[in-house]
Structure 1
């Protein structure tokens, strides 16, 4: 098949172009990256809409008093947001399947060095305790190894990945707390709304930062060799 970058013919038995070193399936990898990017954007918009809606819902509670507060009506009004977080979780799971497929290929195309075996790209997301830090570490290694970065640029990438993963963890925890909290009193309802808004904000920020990592890594690994190496 012809190389997507230089046009040279790639033999079927090799994985890289003998002329420029490009991966034979680089174009397919870019298509998967674009799909993941778009799904993450959709997740970010849904989370952002949920957070803004919850903030608007907090206005009546701010002016309410204990005498006119209706716990039953408030609980019924908040119930759809719990279902919305469940739907967001399902959407995130679907996006995650495609994201892991993209991450697996990105790890294979990353030159290294890597601290962990390639299998941990998948296992790291499902092993308890390990999944609190290893996914972020894997993404960071793939990112910085896909290009030649200065120290300051590596630190900036580390900050982006750290903020992304922190928002992921807090978004999951806060969404769970929102689904378990009640609205028996006015104070509980106000707290519940703020927790839900914080969960939505964390999810929106996490999806946006993940979009940035997917875009950057995909661009580095699908660019010509001199661009993939980064700045001299």
Structure 2
């Protein structure tokens, strides 16, 4: 199989690359990181396409009056976007499982101090109330513990993680709000489109920011092989 670090062909019975000396566990960790990065990119692409599609509905709705508005037609046009958000949610759930598998290994490989035990990598997402603040703190801890970062880099990591978490929460809230607005009136249809655009944009931005965390943490842990045990 090819080495994910240098591309050299490695026999299956060998646990270390003869060209660059990378351990198999190090290669596997990078492979998982690349898979998560690509899945997040696909999520961002789908959400961005949804936002662009809904943006194209703004101008037609601006030219419609209350007398010419047809709720049946509006429902036919806007209802499929609710199904798109459902599919995006299912895709995000699959990506989340892979992301947790990557974060589980990243937490174990980080050498610096961490405020939460490894079990919180999974439990932190499902415990009520705690899941509002544990995941971003855990990701930030893994990031700053994966290498020797300057103070400015630590602050930048904190800003990226905070922006990712806030956009993710906003995306979840707006996505759930979208189907409850309805399309019975012109005002509600316009508001639904605005909510849908905001929800899709937040989804795309959250996925992009999460890609940044995966990229930097994986890069730091690959560049510091002494961290990988």
Deviation at residue 184 of structure 1 after TM alignment? 1.2
Does structure 1 conserve the Cα–Cα contact (< 8 Å) formed by 2:43 and 2:91? Answer: yes
Aligned pairs for 1:126-141 within 5 A: 126-141=126-141
Tell me, yes or no, if structure 1 residue 3 matches structure 2 residue 9.
Answer: no
1:181 match: 181
1:165 and 2:165 equivalent? Answer: yes
Post-superposition Cα deviations, 1:183-232, rounded to whole Å, max 9, x if no partner, equal: 11111111110000000000000000111111111111112449x8xxxx
SS of equivalent to 1:148: coil
Output the CA distance in 2 between the equivalents of 1:53 and 1:115: 42
Q: Deviations over 1:152-210 (max 9, x none)?
A: 11111100000001111100110000022101111111111000000000000000011
CA contact (8 A) 1:5 1:224 kept: no
Gaps of at least 5 residues in structure 2 are 1-13
CA positional deviation for 1:24: 4.8
Aligned residue pairs total: 214
On the 8 A contact 1:51/1:201 being kept in 2, the answer is yes
State whether structure 2 residue 210 is matched by structure 1 residue 197: no
Matched-pair contact (CA < 8 Å) for 1:51–1:196: yes
- TM-superposition CA deviations, 1:71-97 (whole Å, max 9, x none): 111012111100000000000000111
Residues in 2 aligned to 1:52 and 1:185: alpha-carbon distance in whole angstroms: 23
Find the counterpart in structure 1 of residue 7 from structure 2. none
* TM value normalised by structure 1: 0.88
Answer yes or no: is the 8 Å Cα contact 1:167–1:205 preserved in 2. Answer: yes
Retained in 1: the 8 A contact 2:125–2:135? Answer: yes
How does the TM-score come out when normalised to structure 2? Answer: 0.89
Question: What is the aligned partner in structure 2 of residue 13 from structure 1?
Answer: none
Matches of 1:193 and 1:101 in 2, distance apart?
35
Contact residue 15 and residue 23 of structure 2 kept, 8 A: no
